[in-house]
Amino acid sequence: MLLLSREDIKKVFSIQDAIEADKKAFTLVADKKCDSPLRTNIQAPKYDGCFLFMPAYIEEMDTASLKTVNIFPHNIDNGLPTSPAQVLLIDGKTGIVTAVLDGTYVTQLRTGASSGVAFDLLAKKDCRIGALIGTGGQAATQLEAMVAVRNLEEVRVYDLNYERTASFAARMQEELKAYGTKITAVSSSDEAIDDADLLITVTPSAKPVFDGTKIKKGCTVSCVGAYQHHMQEMDPAILPRASKIYFDSQEAVLSESGDILLPLEEGIITEEDFTGNIGDVIKGTLTGRENDDEIIVYETVGVGAQDLVTAKTIYEKALSAGVGMQWEA
């Protein structure tokens, strides 16, 4: 069994690799080639947390996986990961666990890459300004995915805690300096989204974190954080303005995301307003952006296929490079 830490993974796997892995995963989901039941969610209300279990099996890859990811948003106050996790990679021929990967980092990579896929396929080609709302454990890879797929002049970052925002922006300016994008901490959501061509929200908020009436024409919005019914970081005012609404998995989103479920219940939108899954855009069977004035919304909650394909790709690269620690049980 190969044990792969965050540092091991960094040696062999980039955000660009993660974006390509997500594209493959979303295509497999669209082709119904991944057996991935909706995740099991066990609440831990004492700590505003929850335990999530995400299995997946892809027969043509002879691989299964199980990710445990536990969401504890208050961890950020203690300098701990907000979504500690592990991924078990399983040989589909024998049922033997072949690898255990740092699931926190796998989750960060594949979740950031999901926004990267959306922007790569759906954003305008000429984008200058990005906005990122949220600076928790998922934020860094979201930011890198954004600047990896579009040559941005500036990304403005906003969080409720300005000191934390400024620290995050300074750290990311250094880590992502090769991209040549200015990373700026701002003190309000309105300042972040002003004239933004790309927007990512990645928070556990139960109320909207931006004003949907102030999103400019042509913006592509990726909402990442709402994985439970009561969570709603997306302002529903954006939905009637959107030309198209895409999902990583419409089934998964409609099972849990308040960003979409609450506006449906309130009659702000209907399912007829949905465009479809991004995997079908990748396949060429669903239309993407048609002009530079369209506002496009992408809602992602994550699917097990992402974890499986990402973990499998990392495992194969690590084996080739001799990276990781072998553990004989």
* Catalytic positions, written as ranges: 67
**Residue 246 amino acid letter:** Y
- Measured CA distances, 233 to 171, 225, 312 (Å): 25, 7, 32
CB–CB of 176/144 below 8 Å? Answer: yes
Residue reference for tokens 């620690």? 325
Q: Of 240, 19, 38, 256, whose CA–CA distance to 141 is shortest?
A: 19
How far apart (Å, rounded) are the C-alpha atoms in residues 38 and 183? Answer: 36
Q: Torsion angle, CA of 16/19/20/22, rounded to 10 degrees? A: 160
Residue count (the chain): 329
242 with 295: CB under 8 angstroms? yes
Determine contact, residues 118/187, Cβ cutoff 8 Å. Answer: no
Which ranges of 84-161 does DSSP label H, i.e. alpha helix?
Answer: 103-122, 139-149
Q: Where are the alpha helices (DSSP H) in 4-138?
A: 6-12, 15-30, 103-122
Contact 83, 76 (CB under 8 A): no
161/58 Cα distance (integer angstroms) = 42
Alpha-helix runs per DSSP H in 226-323: 238-241, 250-256, 258-265, 278-283, 304-321
Cα 88 from Cα 150, distance rounded (Å): 33
Query: 154: Cβ–Cβ under 8 A, 6 or more apart, which residues?
Result: 128, 129, 130, 181, 182, 183, 184
Q: Is 180 exposed, middle or buried (0-12, 13-18, 19+ CB in 10 A)?
A: exposed
